Amino acid sequence: MQNKKAEKEFFDAFVQRGEYDVFDERGTNRLLDELKKISRIDSNERLRILDVGCGTGAFTKRFAANGRDVFGVDISVKSAILAQKITPQCSFFAGDGEYLPFEDSRLEVILLSGVLNHLPSMLETLSECYRTLRSGGCCIGFDRNGSNPAMWLYRSSKSPLATRKGWTENERLLVRDQIASAFEKAGFQEVIVKGITGVTYQYVGSEIGMKLLRIYNIFENILGQIGLGKKYGSFLVSYGLKK
């Protein structure tokens, strides 16, 4: 079972520093471009979109255009309050991804912003996403890839170089088959889970990580150039359709 109290306390404390976005502009755009591509979200569509695990709205605000109804939910009350101040054109609230306050078949798109790797079981949250999506709607997400060498060295409990600094006690690394299986069990069809490269950072939680960040960003780009991104890219992007 997820320690929800630990999640709330961690991110409430984190957000006291202000708005946070661990990715640099290039990394954020890389994730967004790939998510839009696999989900076929047209930039001109008027959609009802929910960002689960929105934090201070780094991704949420990028969907707020063209008359869309865009919502963000985060387990951290302080994150949701700050997000609302930063992006008033969206609607933010504190809540739990396992109990979404939306009617059945209400939304067209749900984004899981690095949420699944915080959950001991992904099925409850994915089932809630399925329930609140209309027919033809989709759930998309991104999570760190446990098959990526750098992620494994830095974050795997089996690695001698791993650190928990900057992670909550609930976080873990996931691999492609784990995510795909959870999407399918929740009822989603046409499931896609694949690795991508080019997701570069501007911040990590440990001093050692910050010193090595430039090397990591270079390595991340090299993986894509030599054709190993789909398997070993640092992030897994996911997609599931509700028919």
CATH number assigned to the domain comprising residue 226: 3.40.50.150
Q: Provide CB contacts within 8 A for 77, sequence distance 6+.
A: 8, 12, 94
Q: What percentage of the chain carries pLDDT values higher than 70?
A: 93
Please indicate whether residue 40 or residue 83 has the higher confidence score (pLDDT): 83
pLDDT digits (tens, 9 = 90+) for 55-110: 999 999 998 877 899 999 999 999 999 999 999 999 999 999 999 999 999 999 99
For β-strands 107-113 and 91-94, DSSP reports them as unpaired
Tell me if residue 18 falls in helix, strand or coil: coil
pTM (two decimals)? 0.91
Q: What is the pLDDT of residue 176?
A: 97
Please give the pLDDT value at position 224. Answer: 74
Domain count, the chain: 1
**Res 206: pLDDT:** 66
Please tell me the total number of residues recorded for the chain in this structure.
Answer: 243
Residue 168 above 90 pLDDT?
A: no
Task: State residue 215's pLDDT score.
Answer: 78
Q: Determine the pLDDT at residue 87.
A: 95
What is the pLDDT confidence band of residue 200, given thresholds at 50, 70 and 90?
confident
pLDDT reading at 19 higher than 80: no
Percent of the chain's residues with pLDDT above 90? 57
Domain that holds residue 198: 4-241
CB 94 within 8 A of CB 54: no
Average pLDDT over residues 4-8: 89
How distant, in Å, are the alpha carbons of 1, 95, 105, 211, 229 from that of 142?
21, 20, 23, 25, 14
Q: What pLDDT is stored for residue 223 in this prediction?
A: 77
- Whole-angstrom distance, CA of residue 11 vs CA of residue 22: 13
pLDDT of residue 203: 67
pLDDT of residue 33: 93
